[in-house]
Amino acid sequence: MPYQPTLAYAQEQDRKDPLRGYREQFYFPQHQGRDTLYFTGNSLGLQPKSAKAALLHELEHWKNHAVEGHFRGEMPWMEYHKFLLPQTAHVVGAKEEEVIVMNTLTANLHLMMVSFYRPDAGRYKIIMEAGAFPSDQYAVESQVRWHGYTPEQAIVEVSPRAGEECLRTEDIIAIIEQHGKETALVLFGGVNYFTGQFFNLKAITEAAHKAGAYAGFDLAHAAGNVPLKLHDWEVDFAVWCSYKYLNSGPGGPSGAFVHERHGNKPELPRFAGWWGHDERERFLMRKGFHPMKGAAGWQLSNAQILSFAVHKASLDIFHQATMAALRTKSEKLTGYLEYLLQEIIQRKGGFHIITPNTPQNRGCQLSIYTHRDGRHLYNYLESHGVISDWREDNLHGGEVQPGQAGVIRVAPAPLYNSFQDVLEFATLLKDYEKNKSS
Ligand SMILES: *Cc1c(COP(=O)(O)O)cnc(C)c1O
């Protein structure tokens, strides 16, 4: 059945949604006595109701057993990182030994670059997307400087064509081919945080390998959002955070992926710590680092139990719902949002969508580019119980006035957002545009 712009239709879709029960498993911030329209799971996911019990469980364990908690109970802390592996592998399409949860995202990006950005006189360039998330830009800039290069020498950015906002895969590949012989690493986001574009990770990885370079990805906006097959795509490494789509709370732990091709090479250079050391002899306290097999061999420290406990509670929900079912709903839900927005655009046209209009090239987020008074529209939505976010235009340099042109990012998360949420959001937007022009 084609989409319809009515409440009856939206409610019917919600009734038929096989994942509808998951909404009840999350807390929504309240606005005037009802749930907000929460579309910011791309920034901080909602709290799963199971998080508190998971956290309290570990606090009790600590209270009752103190240091013995490392060895006692169903999930002894000594082994705790292992209890997150099946769910983590499911989310990113990996083998269990290819993933690990540790540290935070930017820290892991640096650790991965220590192993996979090893420039020499011939190969020293890093190819990345223009407009990458600032933390990634700073990480890359500091890495190339640390190896003695300037960003101008070593960083190659792929930009959209004039008049376009997203990148074309053929342009990414052309740049990789052009700089191939000098390229050490191709480092991309999975889903760009600003435009919502989901890059073709498989094609980028193939092109990087053909050029003799490694391919790594920052999946902050991809993990828990889009289908990933890191193992099959032969991605070399990836990192992500858990507090966005993965709903694991502010500052939650990061995940890392290292393909098994590399995970079983103990000679691969890395920065080491005791938790990455062969666990059979970890407590012999001897000299000489022998890494664990797989991604576990990149661990530095013992597990951050309290934040891992919350992360596990959330990952268990993803494992149960499955990424495949979430994606099926996500395509419909975001498609519905797009349909409703297009209706308004055709009539009024105060904004347009910069996210690709094909589901395979995006996740759940749509980025609405406002041509004028965008900040005002954002404030209007906020005062009516919408939680979205506002980003000043960063596509057109200094050419635009602050508060005018920019992007409102709206991310209906298939775990907890409904078709009715999407309809109510679009109705507010429509009313705003109508009042403005009357
Ligand atoms: C959110 C985000 C980060 C944040 O990094 P932290 O180290 O977790 O603070 C980094 N990169 C991208 C692409 C992001 O979207």
**Nearest CA owner, ligand 1 atom 15:** 220
Task: Pick from 113, 193, 394 the residue to mutate for probing ligand 1's pocket: most ligand atoms within 8 Å of its CB.
Answer: 193
Q: Which residue, 215, 203, 219, is CA-closest to 133?
A: 219
Tell whether the torsion through CA atoms of 146, 147, 150 and 152 is positive or negative: negative
Domain ranges of the chain: 7-47+323-437, 52-321
Q: How far away, in angstroms, is 127 Cα from ligand 1 center?
A: 18
What is the DSSP secondary-structure string of 351-411? Answer: EEE-S-SSGGGB-S-EEEEESS-HHHHHHHHHHTTEE-EEEE--SSGGGS-TTTSEEEEEB
Q: Which residue, 98, 354, 58, is CA-closest to 233?
A: 98
Instruction: Please indicate whether residue 133, judged by its CB atom, sits closer than 6 Å to ligand 1.
Output: yes
**Nearest CA owner, ligand 1 atom 10:** 135
Task: Determine phi and psi for 321, rounding to 5 degrees.
Answer: -70, -30
The architecture (CATH level 2) of 52-321 comes to 3-Layer(aba) Sandwich (3.40)
Q: How far away, in angstroms, is 266 Cα from ligand 1 center?
A: 28
Task: Pick from 103, 113, 135, 365 the residue to mutate for probing ligand 1's pocket: most ligand atoms within 8 Å of its CB.
Answer: 135
Q: How far away, in angstroms, is 170 Cα from ligand 1 center?
A: 26
Same fold, 7-47+323-437 and 52-321: no
User: pLDDT tens digits, the chain, 438 residues: what are they?
Assistant: 599 999 999 999 999 999 999 999 999 999 999 999 999 999 999 999 999 999 999 999 999 999 999 999 999 999 999 999 999 999 999 999 999 999 999 999 999 999 999 999 999 999 999 989 999 999 999 999 999 999 999 999 999 999 999 999 999 999 999 999 999 999 999 999 999 999 999 999 999 999 999 999 999 999 999 999 999 999 999 999 999 999 999 999 999 999 999 999 999 999 999 999 999 988 888 889 999 999 999 999 999 999 999 999 999 999 999 999 999 999 999 999 999 999 999 887 789 999 999 999 999 999 999 988 888 999 999 999 999 999 888 766 656 777 788 899 999 999 999 999 999 999 999 999 888 765
The architecture (CATH level 2) of 7-47+323-437 comes to Alpha-Beta Complex (3.90)
Instruction: Please indicate whether residue 129, judged by its CB atom, sits closer than 6 Å to ligand 1.
Output: no
Predicted model pTM: 0.96
